[in-house]
A and B are shown apart, each in its own frame.
Chain A
Amino acid sequence: MIELTHLTKRFGGHVAVDDITFRCEPGTVTGFLGPNGAGKSTTMRALVGLTIPTTGSALIDGKPYSALGNPGRRVGVLLDASAQHPGRTGRETLSLSARILGVPQSRVDELLELVQLAGPASKKRVGDYSLGMRQRLGIAHALIGDPGILILDEPANGLDPEGIRWMRGLLRDFADRGGIVLLSSHLLSEVEAIADRLVIVSGGRVQLSGSKHELLGGTSTVVRTIDPDGLRRVLRQADLTFTVASGGEFNVAADAIDVGRAAAEGQVVLTELRAGGADLEQLFLDLTSTHSHDNYVGGSTASDATHEQEVTA
């Protein structure tokens, strides 16, 4: 379990992280979103003991990171894939950490294989690696101690589409087996595809947090038809509320299945039927374009229909 409680970090007069509170539970992938300079990296560095919080706490399994004994066996960390010695080979980089972690050297080969850096690539110096290779080495480095928690800062950075897809599968599988993943990113579509929960920060503050379903899933359905009058009639009959945009697009406050069933019963031909949840990009821009927003905290209650309208309005 990762638990941040009122975490605040000041550098001189500048508040980098301002009263951040959230937690990551086993079995979940938490996407940590925010524009550059929002405090994501500082928060993650505080979590792994690289920066000391001004106030508040950042705990892992109820303890500060530094009290974990051999923390790499519990937490895999990737904060900056470029922060490796360029003169060391990829294999040697992993090998040094394997020694510190007390895991067998065979683990190095397994990981090199896993991230497709086995063979000649493992003997190349990290300075000769592409950004994508360095990122994959960083992911291998985070996994080498066989941890139950992953803390990854921009892990998709520099990966090609195939690599991003691979990482998505890896992290999903990791969480599905009870692991905890906290990853930051500015690639919104990636986070949307991987994460179960979202924490959006801006100006050092949490602007919104909650499950992806709460924040984006919504219960609205977008539907188009060749018979607008007929659709209006069946929707009213089914007691569904809706709005019609000028382009003829219906936005119905119901699940797609209810809308589809109503249309089928009324024999109205549909040309389009899809979930019309909030758009993450729009949500992100709305929340982060200004810091004057109040804190929207979705939390665990699902009473957010009104809040969602506020946010996406």
Chain B
Amino acid sequence: MSAVASLPTRASSASASVPLTTLVGVELRKMVDTRAGRWLLIGVAAAVVAVMAISMITGDASERAFTDLIAIAQIPLWLLIPVLGVLSATSEWTQRTVLSTFSLVPSRGRVVGAKVLAAMALALAAVLFTVVMAAVAALIAPIFGESTSDWSLSAADFGQIIVFQQLNMLMGVALGTLLLNSALAIVLLFVLPTVWGGLTDSIKGLQDVQLWLDTNTTWVGLVDPDMVIHAEQWAHVGATAAMWIALPMAIGLARVLRREVD
């Protein structure tokens, strides 16, 4: 421990703030550079591969077609992606690494922004992964039995899948930012929409509310092949996003900006 001479003291304090691209890159890296983070992503990938295998083995011809395989592959993502979103927002608080993160980047809003962008990049990568896996499965489908060679995937459908998974991811990030507690946020992630859906479903006066504000109705419609998405449906999607993403994110951001870090 003698190489102290290699640490010249910097006289100037002039330095530009950290570029957002750097922060997003660092946030992405934080998702994969721990053993827990890597296993979580491997788990998500394994779940996608598993549902592909199950449709290959047990499905009928229509379930071995490319477009249907893509749709099936969205199910594990739909369940797991919000969990990734929650953890990307909460893990620094549970591990107390916010102490050094905010020491290096005092602008907390930029850190939260970088986390949101990193989570969105991850969601996009996950959708692309499902497309690749569905293509592989469709290619080897004839081995397992009858299959259709329908490779059509419209840009609109593909776009809607991406929007759907981004919304799921952002809901996780928003709830995580609101609660800053992994366990609580993950539980509420699954409980709240179910309770809300049950409530609006069973109470007659709330059926209109369900049409506008239930994730399982409005967002899931984006990946329902039988649903046609027009301006009105997009309005429903947006209204649901306002309630389940924008609102918790706004409150969460205000909380993060003010919160004592220790």
Q: Please list 18 pairs of residues, one from A and one from B, whose beta carbons are closer than 8 Å in the complex, sorted by A's number.
A: A45-B262, A50-B262, A68-B13, A69-B16, A71-B106, A73-B13, A77-B103, A82-B96, A86-B95, A87-B37, A97-B104, A100-B18, A100-B22, A100-B105, A102-B18, A102-B22, A115-B1, A125-B35
Which A residues are within 8 Å of any B CB, using their own CB?
Answer: 11, 41, 45, 48-52, 61, 65-66, 68-74, 77, 79-80, 82-88, 92, 96-97, 99-102, 110, 113-116, 125, 141, 143, 146-148, 166, 169-170, 173-174, 177-179
B103/A48 in contact, CB under 8 A: yes
Given contacts A50-B102, A87-B35, A114-B6, contact A61 B13 (CB under 8 A): yes
A-side contacts of B106, CB under 8 Å = 48-49, 65-66, 68, 71
B100/A141 in contact, CB under 8 A: yes
B10/A80 in contact, CB under 8 A: no
CB distance from B80 to the nearest CB of A (A): 19
Given contacts A85-B97, A148-B11, contact A72 B103 (CB under 8 A): yes
A-side contacts of B99, CB under 8 Å = 50, 79-80, 83
Q: Beta-carbon contacts of B92-114 to A below 8 Å, as 1s and 0s?
A: 00011101101111110000000
Name 12 extra pairs, CB < 8 A, besides A50-B262, A88-B34, A148-B11.
A50-B99, A66-B107, A70-B15, A70-B16, A71-B106, A72-B103, A74-B13, A79-B99, A85-B91, A87-B35, A96-B29, A148-B9
CB distance from B253 to the nearest CB of A (A): 16
B11/A92 in contact, CB under 8 A: no
In chain B, positions 1-48 with a C-beta closer than 8 Å to chain A are 1, 3-4, 6-11, 13-18, 22-23, 25-26, 29-30, 33-37
A-side contacts of B13, CB under 8 Å = 61, 68-69, 73-74, 148
CB distance from A63 to the nearest CB of B (A): 8
Q: Tell whether B260 is near chain A: CB-to-CB under 8 Å.
A: yes
CB distance from B19 to the nearest CB of A (A): 9
A-side contacts of B102, CB under 8 Å = 49-50
B-side contacts of A143, CB under 8 Å = 7
Q: Compute how far the CA of A216 lies from the CA of B15 in the bound complex, rounded to whole angstroms.
A: 40
B33/A70 in contact, CB under 8 A: no
Q: Tell whether B192 is near chain A: CB-to-CB under 8 Å.
A: no
Given contacts A51-B260, A86-B95, contact A101 B104 (CB under 8 A): yes
A170/B4 in contact, CB under 8 A: yes
Q: Tell whether B261 is near chain A: CB-to-CB under 8 Å.
A: yes
B-side contacts of A74, CB under 8 Å = 10, 13, 15
Residue A71 contacts which of B8, B11, B37, B104 (CB distance < 8 angstroms)?
B104
A177/B104 in contact, CB under 8 A: no
CB distance from B172 to the nearest CB of A (A): 20
Measured CB to CB, the nearest residue on chain A to B96 is A83
How many residues of B are in contact with the other chain, CB < 8 A?
42
CB distance from B128 to the nearest CB of A (A): 25
B1/A100 in contact, CB under 8 A: no
CB distance from A96 to the nearest CB of B (A): 6
B9/A177 in contact, CB under 8 A: yes
Measured CB to CB, the nearest residue on chain B to A63 is B13
**Chain B interface mostly:** loop
A113/B7 in contact, CB under 8 A: no
B104/A179 in contact, CB under 8 A: no
Q: Which 4 interchain pairs have the tightest Cβ spacing?
A: A87-B34, A66-B106, A83-B96, A70-B15
B10/A73 in contact, CB under 8 A: yes
Q: Compute how far the CA of A116 lies from the CA of B96 in the bound complex, rounded to whole angstroms.
A: 25
Q: Compute how far the CA of A15 lies from the CA of B111 in the bound complex, rounded to whole angstroms.
A: 30
Which of B14, B15, B103 is the most central at the interface, judged by chain A CB atoms within 10 Å of its CB?
B103
B-side contacts of A83, CB under 8 Å = 95-97, 99-100
Residue A99 contacts which of B14, B26, B35, B260 (CB distance < 8 angstroms)?
B26
Q: Compute how far the CA of A85 lies from the CA of B95 in the bound complex, rounded to whole angstroms.
A: 6
B-side contacts of A61, CB under 8 Å = 13
Given contacts A99-B25, A166-B1, contact A80 B34 (CB under 8 A): no
CB distance from B217 to the nearest CB of A (A): 38
A-side contacts of B23, CB under 8 Å = 100
Q: Compute how far the CA of A74 lies from the CA of B103 in the bound complex, rounded to whole angstroms.
A: 12
Residue B36 contacts which of A80, A87, A178 (CB distance < 8 angstroms)?
A87
Measured CB to CB, the nearest residue on chain A to B95 is A85
Q: Compute how far the CA of A11 lies from the CA of B260 in the bound complex, rounded to whole angstroms.
A: 10
Given contacts A96-B30, A96-B33, contact A41 B262 (CB under 8 A): yes
B-side contacts of A71, CB under 8 Å = 103-104, 106
Which of A51, A74, A86, A100 is the most central at the interface, judged by chain B CB atoms within 10 Å of its CB?
A100
A-side contacts of B107, CB under 8 Å = 66
In chain B, positions 36-86 with a C-beta closer than 8 Å to chain A are 36-37
B-side contacts of A72, CB under 8 Å = 103-104
Given contacts A50-B99, A70-B15, A125-B35, contact A173 B4 (CB under 8 A): yes
A97/B1 in contact, CB under 8 A: no
Measured CB to CB, the nearest residue on chain A to B262 is A45
A146/B262 in contact, CB under 8 A: no
A-side contacts of B262, CB under 8 Å = 41, 45, 50-51
B-side contacts of A65, CB under 8 Å = 106
CB distance from A252 to the nearest CB of B (A): 40
B-side contacts of A141, CB under 8 Å = 100
